[in-house]
Chain A
Amino acid sequence: MTRVPMSQILEAARQLSGLSVPELWWAYVVLGGTASPQDVEGFLAGSLHPDRAQYDRLAQALNDRFTDLGQNHPVPYFESGL
């Protein structure tokens, strides 16, 4: 199976969610994310790689947003074999 890079999943989900990068960063920090806005940009661009804790908080921030949009957790979490 071809693995889709985490950054592509996050960035595609971010675009679909309608969140700007600063909005996503803010939601992620509220969930306990500790990376800087610049690092989050790097995670989305694929130039930096988040660890599991940071990835899952970004995925959760996006999924929280998708809950508002009527979708049930479309962004996969780290443990699901990314």
Chain B
Amino acid sequence: MAEGTGGGPEVTASLAQLAGLVLSEKTVDAVLQLLVSLAASSIPHTDAASVSVVRTGRFETSNATSEEVRAVDERQYHRGQGPCVEAIRSGHRHNIVVAQEKERWPEFATAALEAGFTSTLSTPLQAQDRIIGALNLYSRSEDAFGESDAEQAERFAQHAAAVLANAIDLTTAGKMNQQLQEAMRSREVIGKAQGILMVRHHCTSEEAFDLLRQGSQRSNRKLREVAAEIVESEERQGRRR
């Protein structure tokens, strides 16, 4: 591929293709996977690419062009040291020659060099005023990435950030909805069981909770299960009456 095209025809085509897919593709994960593949194939000297994200306070690789690059990413996360992590923390692009970072990030440098990666370029993914991840490019060429590569990476990063921000919102919303429904069902069952016990034992709702708690301890089952059993048994009796 020609060097220094700075958003030349290939990249523009890639982005147009991506934009079209964002509209039609249902799965955000598939879009991100496509994006890392396109970044790796469009940006000169790029041999592998990945997207690092922060989820529930932890770093993780959401998508990568190979398991090898995923492994190198992960070597950075548990110690919180390396260019991907630093790009997310600082909000600044990190364009590095791996051999020069052996002292600053020894674990990352060792892992990257073992995999044959000698240069990396990590670009922060910014959604509104938050940094939500980084696009990481890995190269087997020494000092691979120039200013025009960084500009191309920036374009991909903008797309990735938009897709990812959407993904985070969707995932959070879906998960919250599911959790809320489960919580409401559990609370309803526990509340019903308390009511049944209050009538049976002429006790207060706190005393009824204590009975449930003791039942849970005696049978080594979750309180919700004990409550559900009481409700079911009452309903069975109610049907017989």
Binding site for B on A (CB under 8 A): 20, 26, 29-32, 53, 56-57, 60, 63-64, 67-68, 72-73, 77, 79
Contacts and interface: CB of A to CB of B under 8 A. Distances in A.
A36 B179 CA distance: 17
A58 to B, nearest CB: 12
B209 A53 contact: yes
Interface stretch (B8-16, B63-71, B113-121, B215-223): B215-223
B36 interface: no
Contacts of B179: 26
B62 interface: no
Contact of A26 (B183, B206, B217, B223): B183
27 contacts: A20-B56, A26-B179, A26-B183, A29-B187, A30-B182, A30-B183, A30-B187, A30-B190, A31-B190, A31-B223, A56-B209, A56-B213, A60-B213, A60-B216, A60-B223, A63-B216, A63-B217, A64-B224, A67-B216, A67-B221, A67-B222, A68-B222, A73-B216, A73-B217, A73-B220, A77-B213, A79-B210
By Cβ-Cβ distance, the 5 closest A-B pairs, closest first, are: A64-B222, A72-B220, A30-B186, A73-B217, A30-B183
Taking each of A31, A56, A64, which has the highest tally of chain B beta carbons within 10 Å of its own beta carbon? A31
A32 B209 contact: yes
Interface residues of B, number: 19
B183 A32 contact: no
Contacts of A68: 222
Nearest to B194: A32
Contacts of B186: 30
B120 to A, nearest CB: 31
- Chain A interface, >50% SS class: helix
A59 to B, nearest CB: 8
A67 B220 contact: yes
A54 to B, nearest CB: 11
Contacts of A63: 216-217
Taking each of B179, B209, B221, which has the highest tally of chain A beta carbons within 10 Å of its own beta carbon? B209
A64 B190 contact: no
A67 B206 CA distance: 22
Contacts of B182: 30
B6 to A, nearest CB: 44
Nearest to B184: A30
Contacts of A79: 210
Interface string B179-221: 1001100110011000000000000001001100100110011
Interface in B34-48: none
A26 B186 CA distance: 12
A70 B201 CA distance: 31
Nearest to A64: B222
A42 to B, nearest CB: 20
B181 to A, nearest CB: 12
Given A20-B56, A60-B213, A63-B216, 20 more contacts: A29-B183, A30-B187, A30-B190, A31-B223, A32-B187, A32-B209, A53-B206, A56-B210, A56-B213, A60-B223, A64-B216, A64-B222, A67-B216, A67-B220, A67-B221, A67-B222, A68-B222, A72-B217, A73-B217, A73-B220
